[in-house]
Chain A
């Protein structure tokens, strides 16, 4: 308590909560490892202690599922993976943050919420608006992005220069480069991509669906995944996997990143969270040789939005202190501190910070990419788990068994409609 600078007799926003111990639940993830490094600073400034329960993210979800149904939960603040937003909000298990931001004793006037990356806020934080999971006149804020991610293209500058290949700006160039590289660089795949059956193949397909102009559902929940854009996305993924490093069909994100960092592929298009690993010479053979570019344009620009947000459970014991921690972590100062420690920024201003750009030269590109982060690249609805798994196993059949993309997506659309019908999405039609 020696360094506690606020509750020194002058009061201050943190004084009433000094001595409180918050229990927070976060995933084992590079961003949250970085957060652990800045938490002591929060305790020093506020006098609020923080106890961290860090779990592998699937285990974290399981634990939260049990915790959130209790009358009195153990957690004051939770990190949640983006698709949990649908489950937790729908089950009325997260606090609406409006009453905290309305409270003059809690809300920091310098917080500058407009500076938060809007694509992330829409995707991870807001529910109850358009389609139920996006902003809109009826939407509310339930969480704040923290450890959120978008997609960028990482590519081998040396290989591209050597063979005179331009950095892909659009999908035609991306697919051309993906299949040209194995021809000109022996033993090297074009692009390393997720493709393993299930969630990974679905994620990879959706990554191409949004920029190529597609969506899973239209605004009336009719599946349109099997339209021209859907087929184009499936074909793009098949081309990428066919021209990728050996065994691509079984890659999860770690394997795909490992293939790129070990020099087995010339491109990697996935979350920005992998960049730090690529630039670490102790783990990567390609450190210093990687260029970063925006997710190439299809019929539009549209990179993914994913990762994590933080929220206050309805059954938390110390909600106000938890809000103060949430606000501090996502403030300009907190966001910069976590970014400097290797985390993912949640604010535009952090990406523009000169100090951060000096330390991580790719930050400016990432900041630019966020302007195109698409909060609607996949639906965040309670039925998504089943539909996502179906897309993933079907897409895996396209990649490994030669199933025709149109036929595959027609089947997905039909099954998705049945799932949505059962869940009541066509009640008002």
Chain B
């Protein structure tokens, strides 16, 4: 009996050191940030000298117009870029999931943008959007059109940062979608073809449902990243004009460094953390349902064959 207990505990004992290290490494910074959010703390003080203010930072932010605006801008930005990237990425994967000559070269070219450092991407697009020497306005002028105020008008600036982000991160969706496509069970495809499914029906009723678990994880990863985007926008617009592209990461960074309010910056980060946790939980629940559906589809395909 005792031996059985020891045997049951053995794996946990072996795992314990790594689990403790991981736990501390993950939880300590989060705990530190949560604690900091209850303080009126500026960088000239040590954390021990900062005044404890309870929930004041959180309540203050609820009435802070600029914070609300940047929260809304972030929501808008993340939902638009992730939707566009999912559409384009999955679409491209479906289009390029075939074995013809030159396809591997094409795939490699498609994933180049995501290999470039975000700061460089920001600079590159900023120069392309330049009002006089940028390639877009030069092209428009040469065709006889009026130049566009890419970065000097709020709506255009918002569209411009979306274009840059979509350009850089669509390949991420593409590469994961392609991997998911290529690992789909061929039996399911064959069963659908035998049942007379055409190309569109095959995509809509077989491929996409089977890919869904991977797509949801991909979507989640991109969504988390999109909510935290900083460098590209910092370099391209620095949050302007006005507050039109001031996403939350930029606001948090400003609050900590320019306004020297570390407690308030930590509270903002925690609001973002809470939002992302809610989104992640919702995605995982949905993912569970999708996995069950994909399993049913696989089983049905096996039965058909």
Contact = CB atoms under 8 A, between A and B. Distances in A.
Interface of A: 58, 61-62, 65-66, 68-69, 87-88, 90-91, 93, 196-199, 201, 245-250, 264, 382, 385-386, 388-390, 393-394, 396-397, 399-401, 403, 415
B151 to A, nearest CB: 5
Contact of A393 (B42, B66, B130, B153): B66
B131 A247 contact: yes
A58 B256 CA distance: 13
Contacts of B242: 197, 393-394, 396-397, 400-401, 403
B241 A91 contact: no
A62 B257 contact: yes
12 contacts: A65-B43, A66-B43, A93-B44, A201-B240, A247-B130, A388-B258, A389-B259, A396-B240, A397-B243, A401-B242, A403-B242, A415-B65
B132 A246 contact: yes
Given A65-B44, A69-B44, A393-B242, 5 more contacts: A68-B44, A87-B42, A249-B153, A249-B241, A250-B237
B45 A196 contact: no
Interface string B136-165: 000000000001010111100000000000
B239 interface: yes
Contacts of B149: 247, 249
B44 A90 contact: yes
B258 A389 contact: yes
Contacts of A264: 132
Interface in B97-115: none
B240 A250 contact: yes
A286 B237 CA distance: 28
A289 to B, nearest CB: 20
B238 A385 contact: no
B44 A249 contact: no
Nearest to B236: A250
Contacts of B239: 197-198, 393
Interface residues of B, number: 30
Contacts of B258: 199, 385-386, 388-389
A425 to B, nearest CB: 16
Q: Which of A58, A397, A403 counts the most chain B CB atoms within 10 A? A: A397
A155 to B, nearest CB: 21
B259 A249 contact: no
B246 interface: yes
A415 B69 CA distance: 15
A388 B42 CA distance: 17
A88 B243 CA distance: 29
Nearest to A200: B238
Residue of B44, B149, B153, B237 contacting most chain A CB atoms (<10 Å) = B44
B91 to A, nearest CB: 33
A198 B240 contact: yes
Closest 10 CB pairs of A and B: A197-B240, A247-B131, A91-B44, A249-B152, A400-B241, A397-B242, A246-B131, A65-B43, A386-B259, A385-B258
Given A393-B243, A400-B152, A245 B132 contact: yes
A262 to B, nearest CB: 9
A401 B154 contact: yes
Contact of B132 (A199, A247, A400): A247
A245 B257 CA distance: 32
Contacts of B8: none
Contacts of A390: 66
A248 B130 CA distance: 10
Nearest to A199: B258
B76 interface: no
Contacts of A199: 258
